[in-house]
Structure 1
Amino acid sequence: MELKISVVIPVHNGGDSFVRCLESFRDSTRQPDEVIVVADGDTDGSREVAESFGAKVFRYPSPGGPARARNRGANAAQGDIVLFIDADVTIHSDTLARVEDAFQQAPELSALIGSYDDAPGDEGFLSQYKNLFHHYTHQVSSDVAFTFWGACGAIRRSVFQTVGGFDESYRKPCVEDIELGYRLRQADYAIRLCKDIQVKHLKRWTPMSLLRAEVFYRALPWADLILSDRRFDADLNLSHTNRLSVLMVFALVGCLIASPFAPMALAIALILSITLLIINRDVYLFFYRKRGLLFALKVVPWHWFYFLYGGAAFAYGMLCHFMRRFRLPNPPTPYGVLRSK
């Protein structure tokens, strides 16, 4: 039975990446039944761009976040399947066909998520590292997913309506998709990670944009979500190897700080470094195969830094969570600007 697919794209100020996103649908072997764009307080004419491509367009006068925008688009959708695509990605020619086939082959499937491909759009080192790392994480993870993904995620419209859509209290690009995935799993809806359904990420990452997104838009709110729902599934970035690596990186930093006062600390630091290389060898071999030895060597310190700031953000998130839970005075608010309480 043929399924109708509604594509929903939230956009703030999409620029050239948004144009490329819309252009990629023209080359799709399976055309969407409708494309719905929700312009979230755009000031660069993204609404007019979407209209020129024939999309159905809704616009908010001021930005309220992708959760609200996606809900608006999904509520207007007519398709059996709602496919959410971010404004800074392009689809492959077979992306939509693979989405339709996945739902046709598995009537019990409620939602699916795809993956970034291994050819990021921006050539800078950080963009290549960040997006390739995302690709790697999805490619080695279990097909049974515990989260949703707004950049390339599809869901049966009836299921989306039943669970109430995205939580609009998230006012920035945050963990609203992960939170939706948790609710889907709690309601016993099946989510699958389809590694062959891929899109290309066009975003250019800089050190500041990377840290801001990883810490304030991801790690802190995700920590609060995990602690609130008590979900520690070994899924995606929460694998047991990653958790162990976080502890070892903190121990490594501690040893380096202590080394001027305790010479044995340097020996321990060396052992920890070698162990970190060994337990994460598959990651570094992946980058070596994709981009060569020099690139892989440059990845190592960024990867360890990722464990450091991710672990620190999670620890701070725990502190904030428990201070609020036990009503301690003056609890810190790690991401109040991201979510309205």
Structure 2
Amino acid sequence: MRTAPLVSVIVPNYNYAQPLRHCLAALAAQTHGPLEVIVVDDGSTDDSVAVADSFGVRVLRTPVNSGPSVARNIGAEAARGEILMFVDSDVALAPDAVANAVAILAAEPGVGAVCGNYDTVPMTPGGVVRDYRNLYRHWWFRIAEGSITGFMSTAIVAVPSRVWDEVGPWNPRLTQSEGADVVERLTARYEVRMTSTVLGRHDDDATLRIALSKVFTRTRVHIPFFLHRRRVVGVVTSAESGTGLASWLAAATAPLPLVAGPVWAALPALLLLAWLLSDARMYRFVLRTRGLPFTVVYAALHLLVNLTIGVGVAAGLVQWLVSRRFRRLYEEQAVAA
């Protein structure tokens, strides 16, 4: 009888002491064994290392803060498991998450990686912004279930070590596009599976300022990566939402009634309605999950996020056109990938 495979769980961490505590507690409660947990601390200045030490896991440290890709690579090089599982330090896995990922990889040799989803409930309570961000990401990953291409979440990923030897490592020079880079190499040889049977609670953004700042930055810096690969559509779909165009046009046409008369108010209103209807399935899901008052707030926050994506796309395109350094930097990163 074949024994269960050793799974090496690699947790990159930077100044996330409190979420890390929940992450490691969840790993200690996994139903799968044996398990090797490796925390790679990326130059934290809080008590993250002490938290990791208190759980008795293996702790490695980067000399200076170098980014999650570097931390993941250090963990992968030190891992002894047949399966590598990359789990961000702000994710607390469900007790059966590792076991379910292992079962898929064992049953289907053609699957080279299993990506997990976020639970509908965040790791810790944090208000409507956190609830919105968490629930939206759950929905986005949920409708992507099955074979995926183009982009993948890097927060929960299980890969057989033999596969990682072929397609790794994470590109340390890519700060926001490393998932798109790795999934390209994976899907050239294997299927990449997204599934909600591998679930984790996520410690998502707690304030609107943080959420919008992240959305803007991630969208902007994705522009050169995808333009270099001739996949402009991927800029939008891999950022936060693929249904933002109508909301951008609604915002652009909103001043029309002031300059062309009140009758033109119908145009931005119709565009906004088209934007809402394009995500009707999502809003029905939110309504069933959280009720009408939260759904109204959710829609308002989602509109702000979509408009921020539009600003990020515009800023990225302008920077691409006017900044040779911006183009050259990401061209070099893409070639290195």
Is TM more than 0.5 here? yes
User: 2:235, 2:252 → 1: CA distance?
Assistant: 28
Q: How far did residue 70 of structure 1 move? A: 0.2
**Which residue in 1 is equivalent to 2:279?**
280
Given residue 267 of structure 1, which amino acid in structure 2 is its aligned partner?
Answer: A
Q: After superposition, what is the alpha-carbon deviation per residue over 1:298-328, rounded to whole angstroms, capped at 9, x for unaligned?
A: 111221222222122123323333x3xxxx6
User: 1:236, 1:258 → 2: CA distance?
Assistant: 26
Whether 1:7 aligns to 2:6 is: no
- The partner residue of 1:155 within 116, 140, 159 is 159
- The partner residue of 2:254 within 232, 243, 256 is 256
User: 1:88, 1:150 → 2: CA distance?
Assistant: 12
Q: How far did residue 33 of structure 1 move? A: 2.3
The alpha-carbon distance between structure 1 residues 180 and 56, as it changes in their structure 2 partners (threshold 3 A), is same
User: 1:99, 1:232 → 2: CA distance?
Assistant: 32
**Which residue in 2 is equivalent to 1:129?**
132
Q: After superposition, what is the alpha-carbon deviation per residue over 1:77-110, rounded to whole angstroms, capped at 9, x for unaligned?
A: 1111110111111111100110110101101111
User: 2:44, 2:238 → 1: CA distance?
Assistant: 34
The alpha-carbon distance between structure 1 residues 27 and 72, as it changes in their structure 2 partners (threshold 3 A), is same
**Which residue in 1 is equivalent to 2:221?**
221
Which aligned pairs between 1:95-244 and structure 2 lie closer than 5 A?
Answer: 95-120=97-122, 121-146=124-149, 147-170=151-174, 172=175, 174-185=176-187, 187-216=188-217, 218-231=218-231, 237=237, 242-243=241-242
User: 2:325, 2:297 → 1: CA distance?
Assistant: 35
Paired residues of 2:145 and 2:196 also in contact (CA < 8 A): no
Given residue 190 of structure 1, which amino acid in structure 2 is its aligned partner?
Answer: E
Paired residues of 1:232 and 1:238 also in contact (CA < 8 A): no
Paired residues of 1:115 and 1:195 also in contact (CA < 8 A): yes
Paired residues of 1:137 and 1:236 also in contact (CA < 8 A): no
Q: How far did residue 276 of structure 1 move? A: 1.9
Match of 1:44, SS state, is: coil
Paired residues of 2:226 and 2:235 also in contact (CA < 8 A): no
**Which residue in 1 is equivalent to 2:300?**
301
User: 2:328, 2:98 → 1: CA distance?
Assistant: 35
Paired residues of 1:220 and 1:334 also in contact (CA < 8 A): no
Q: After superposition, what is the alpha-carbon deviation per residue over 1:238-289, rounded to whole angstroms, capped at 9, x for unaligned?
A: 59x954x322112211221121111232011222222222222112111111
Given residue 188 of structure 1, which amino acid in structure 2 is its aligned partner?
Answer: R
| Aligned-pair Cα RMSD in Å | 2.6
Which aligned pairs between 1:38-77 and structure 2 lie closer than 5 A?
Answer: 38-77=40-79
Match of 1:64, SS state, is: coil
Paired residues of 2:17 and 2:51 also in contact (CA < 8 A): no
Paired residues of 1:27 and 1:93 also in contact (CA < 8 A): yes
User: 1:76, 1:308 → 2: CA distance?
Assistant: 43
Q: Which TM-score applies when normalising by structure 1?
A: 0.88
Q: How far did residue 234 of structure 1 move? A: 7.3
Aligned residues: 328
Q: After superposition, what is the alpha-carbon deviation per residue over 1:197-251, rounded to whole angstroms, capped at 9, x for unaligned?
A: 10001234211211221111x2122222221122367799459x954x3221122
User: 2:19, 2:130 → 1: CA distance?
Assistant: 14
